[in-house]
């Protein structure tokens, strides 16, 4: 059975760091492109970052230089290291595979709150 | 970056009515356009991929059309569970989402 479970969310102060993790089961993360997508309170979906099957990465302009996506094939996980966090990074963060394709699958999300 | 513009922002309709949602891309995305349904507290649900293909388990009342820059999602007869926010998404050039259309009960 396919499962994607996010963890690592929580409350962090502005300027702080947080690392989100996405644990996959039922498939191997290096066989799909894996994305982080977020939804801020009262806002729409925003794609944050993606790691492609070949290992290359892409980022939204809003997080470029602050966030880093990585993949651990041995643990079958994808992570999002978030540094220099801002209030506007407050959102539910979803981990998803193959967004936009019939093989897509999403986790239930983890909440990140950036506040003093 | 390809910008996706959805209209209208809100659609107020009654159950049984037809809903027509629009998504316009700032440049051609070929047919690499998907539609998602999103309800509070749930993960987004893929309805349509590659512009016109229904995802597994999606009822026939949902249909998608278009190519290039103009796309449409049609719900032929709204069921109570269809009231939600709908997003278009492109994967032609990087990945982006539209701003969403909220379909609300009139």
**Residue B58 and residue A19: Cα distance in Å, rounded?**
35
Convert the pLDDT of each residue in A60-86 to its tens digit.
999 999 999 999 999 999 999 999 999
Residue with tokens 């349509």: B48
Beta-carbon separation of A100 and B44 below 8 A? no
pLDDT at B100 over 90: yes
Average pLDDT estimate for A96-108: 95
Structure tokens at A78: 């994808």
Beta-carbon separation of B95 and A94 below 8 A? no
Neighbouring-strand partners of residue B87: B36
Return the percentage of chain B with pLDDT > 90, whole number: 97
Structure tokens at B84: 């939600």
Beta-carbon separation of B49 and A58 below 8 A? no
**Residue B31 and residue B69: Cα distance in Å, rounded?**
9
**Residue A84 and residue B20: Cα distance in Å, rounded?**
41
Q: Is B58 on the interface with A (CB under 8 A)?
A: no
What is the CA B21 to chain-centroid distance, rounded?
6
> Which among B38, B49, B95 has the least Cβ separation from residue A47?
B95
What average pLDDT is seen over chain A? 97
Name the 3-class secondary structure at B56: coil
Please state the φ and ψ torsions of residue B80, each to the nearest 5 degrees: -55, -35
* Burial B68-92, CB ≥16 within 10 A → b, else e: ebebbbebeebeeebbbbbbbbbbb
């Amino acid at each position: 059975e396919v499962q994607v479970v996010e963890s690592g969310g929580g409350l962090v102060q502005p300027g702080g760091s947080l690392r989100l993790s996405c644990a996959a089961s039922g498939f191997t993360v290096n066989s799909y492109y894996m994305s982080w997508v977020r939804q801020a309170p009262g806002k729409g979906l925003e794609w944050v970052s993606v790691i492609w099957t070949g290992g290359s990465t892409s980022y939204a302009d809003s997080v470029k230089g602050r966030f880093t996506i990585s993949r651990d094939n041995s643990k079958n996980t994808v992570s999002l290291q978030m540094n220099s966090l801002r209030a506007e990074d407050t959102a539910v963060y979803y981990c998803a595979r193959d967004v936009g394709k019939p093989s897509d699958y999403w986790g239930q999300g983890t909440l990140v709150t950036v506040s003093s | 970056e390809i910008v996706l513009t959805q209209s209208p922002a809100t659609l107020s309709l009654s159950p049984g009515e037809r809903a027509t949602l629009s998504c316009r891309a700032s440049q051609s995305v070929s047919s690499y356009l998907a539609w998602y349904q999103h309800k509070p507290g749930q993960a987004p649900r893929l309805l349509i991929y590659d512009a016109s293909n229904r995802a597994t388990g999606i009822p026939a009342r949902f249909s998608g059309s278009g190519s290039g820059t103009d796309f449409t999602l049609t719900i032929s007869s709204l069921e109570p569970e269809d009231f939600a926010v709908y997003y278009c998404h492109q994967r032609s050039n990087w990945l982006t989402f539209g701003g969403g259309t909220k379909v609300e009960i009139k």
